[in-house]
Amino acid sequence: MIAGGRSRVLLMHPILDPGPAILAEAAEVISYPPDRPLDEANIRQAAEGCIGIVSQLMDPIRETVLSSPGLRCVSNVAVGFDNIDLAAATAHKVMVTNTPGVLDDATADFAFTLLMATARRVVEADNFTRSAGFHGWAIDMMLGQDVYGATLGIIGIGRIGRGVAHRAKGFNMRVLYYDPQPLPQEAEQQLNATRSSLDRLIAESDFISVHVPLTKETLHLLSTAQFNAMKRNAILINTSRGPVVDEAALVEALKARKLAGAGLDVYEREPAVHPQLIPMPNVVLAPHIASATVRTRSEMSAMAARNMATAVRGGRPPNLVNPEAKR
Ligand code: NAD
C-alpha cells in the first residue's frame, strides 16, 4: 500500500477482458516493462511497493521476489503454479492463487486433438497435400493408428484427466488410469476407467495422455525405462508440463522406434523445443495452447483478476492454494 494512495498491483503480462477492469477497480495497476528480462531480480525490482503480482507460467516467482516487503498475493493466470515457490510464499505469508476448472474442457479437447492428429497423421497429411504430393488414392498411403476401441492410459485423473476420459467414452476406448488418488467407484463406472499401476498402464496403452502437475515427484515421470516398456505403436500426448517428460530420452526413444509418435503442447525448456523433435514427421508440436480458446482465456483472466481484487480488499481469494498464508 502506498501511503495515502491506492494499493499497487504488478501485472506481469497483459490479460484479457474483463480482467483489466476488475483489477483497475481494486488497485493501481503497474505493467511490467515488456522489454525487461523475466528474471527474479528484475521482477523483485518491479514489484517494489506492490501488494500483489498477477503472474503467468513463464515468470519465476521465488524467494527473491516473495520476500519483497508488503507483498501479500501472487495470482497466477494458470491452473499450474510450478513457477512459484509455494513453500517460500507460505513462509512469507504471501497468498498464491490459480485458475482451476475454467480451462478443463479446452485443455481436454486439445489433448484429444493432439491424440487424433498424431494417430491419423493430420499435420503430415496437410503438408503433403499442400506441397502437391497427392497424385491419387493409394491403399498404403499415410496409414495411421486406430483410435476407436483403442486403450488409453491417463496419467493423473484430476479435472483435466477426467475430461479426457469422458471424451474417450465416445470413441469406445478402454481407459486405464494411474493416480495416487483413486476415483470414487461411481466415477470409475461412469467413465469406464480402471485404476492401474504405472507399469501396467505403460505396457498396455495405445495412447498415453499426461495430466499431472509438475512437482518433485512428477519430474521426469516418463523417461527411458518407461519408453522402453511402451507398445511399439504407442503414442504419447503431453499437455501437462514439459519437465514431466524427459525430453532427451523421448527423442532417443522415438529415434529407436520404442514408441510410434508423440503429440506435445509443452516442452522441458520452453519456449525452446528439442531441435531433434522438429524434423520428426510422427510428432505433432503445439506452442503451449491447450487452454487457448477465446472463452477460456477470458475466464482465466477474470478469475485471476478476481482473486487479486479480493486479496487487495483484505478478503480470502476464492482460489487460494496455500490457505496457511492468509493473515
Ligand atoms: P488436478 O489437480 O485437478 O489433477 C491433477 C491430478 O494429478 C490429481 O488427480 C493428482 O492426484 C494427480 N497426481 C499428482 N501427482 C501424481 C503422480 N505422481 N502420479 C500420478 N498422478 C498424480 O489438475 P488439473 O486441473 O487436471 O491440471 C493438471 C495439470 O495440467 C496442471 O497442473 C497444469 O500443469 C497442466 N495444464 C496445462 C495446460 C496447458 O495449457 N497445456 C492447461 C491446463 C493445465
Q: pLDDT > 90: what percent of the chain?
A: 98
Pocket lining: 158 vs ligand 1, CB cutoff 6 Å:
yes
| Dist. CA 260 → ligand 1 center (Å) | 24
Pocket lining: 156 vs ligand 1, CB cutoff 6 Å:
yes
pLDDT at 78: 98
Q: Look at the chain and report how many structural domains it folds into.
A: 2
Q: Are residues 260 and 312 in the same domain?
A: no
pTM of the model: 0.97
Q: Are residues 190 and 97 in the same domain?
A: no
Whose CA is closest to 300, among 84, 81, 76?
76
Q: Are residues 124 and 248 in the same domain?
A: yes
Direct distance between the N- and C-terminal alpha carbons of the chain, in angstroms, rounded to an integer: 16
| Dist. CA 257 → ligand 1 center (Å) | 28
CA distance 210 to 311: 33
Residue owning the nearest CA to atom 36 of ligand 1: 240
- Residue 3 belongs to some domain of the structure: no
CA distance 247 to 180: 24
Q: Are residues 250 and 310 in the same domain?
A: no
Q: CB of 291 within 8 A of CB of 311?
A: no
- Residue 54 belongs to some domain of the structure: yes
Q: Are residues 153 and 252 in the same domain?
A: yes
Residue 257 has pLDDT above 90, yes or no: yes
Residue 299 has pLDDT above 60, yes or no: yes
pLDDT at 253: 98
CA distance 176 to 202: 10
Pocket lining: 76 vs ligand 1, CB cutoff 6 Å:
no
- Residue 223 belongs to some domain of the structure: yes
| Dist. CA 215 → ligand 1 center (Å) | 10
- Residue 123's domain comprises 104-285
Q: Are residues 212 and 316 in the same domain?
A: no
Q: Are residues 73 and 88 in the same domain?
A: yes
CA distances from 219 to 180, 265, 294 (A): 16, 17, 31
Q: Are residues 189 and 154 in the same domain?
A: yes
Pocket lining: 240 vs ligand 1, CB cutoff 6 Å:
yes
Residue owning the nearest CA to atom 32 of ligand 1: 213
| Dist. CA 133 → ligand 1 center (Å) | 40
CA distance 207 to 191: 17
Question: What residues pair up with 236 in beta bridges, in sequence order?
Answer: 208, 262
Residue 311 backbone dihedrals phi, psi, to 5 degrees:
-65, -45
| Dist. CA 156 → ligand 1 center (Å) | 6
Q: Are residues 120 and 245 in the same domain?
A: yes
- Residue 265 belongs to some domain of the structure: yes
Q: CB of 28 within 8 A of CB of 8?
A: yes
Q: Are residues 126 and 275 in the same domain?
A: yes
Q: For residues 17-24, give the mean pLDDT.
A: 98
- Residue 68 belongs to some domain of the structure: yes
Confidence grade of residue 3 (pLDDT, cut at 50, 70, 90): very low
Pocket lining: 291 vs ligand 1, CB cutoff 6 Å:
yes
Residue 254 has pLDDT above 70, yes or no: yes
Q: What is the largest CA-CA distance in the chain?
A: 76
- Select from 212, 222, 266, 268 the residue to mutate for testing ligand 1; criterion: most ligand atoms less than 8 Å from CB: 212
Catalytic positions: 241, 270, 288
Q: Are residues 117 and 258 in the same domain?
A: yes
User: What CATH number does residue 302 fall under?
Assistant: 3.40.50.720
pLDDT at 4: 56
Pocket lining: 218 vs ligand 1, CB cutoff 6 Å:
yes
Confidence grade of residue 2 (pLDDT, cut at 50, 70, 90): very low
Q: Is the peptide bond before 18 cis (omega within 30 degrees of 0)?
A: yes
pLDDT at 5: 80
Q: For residues 125-147, give the mean pLDDT.
A: 97
- Tell me what the pLDDT averaged over the chain comes to: 97
- Residue 1 belongs to some domain of the structure: no
Residues 41-91 have pLDDT tens digits of 999 999 999 999 999 999 999 999 999 999 999 999 999 999 999 999 999
Pocket lining: 111 vs ligand 1, CB cutoff 6 Å:
no
CA distances from 11 to 43, 128, 178, 201, 316 (A): 11, 43, 37, 42, 20
Residue 306 has pLDDT above 60, yes or no: yes
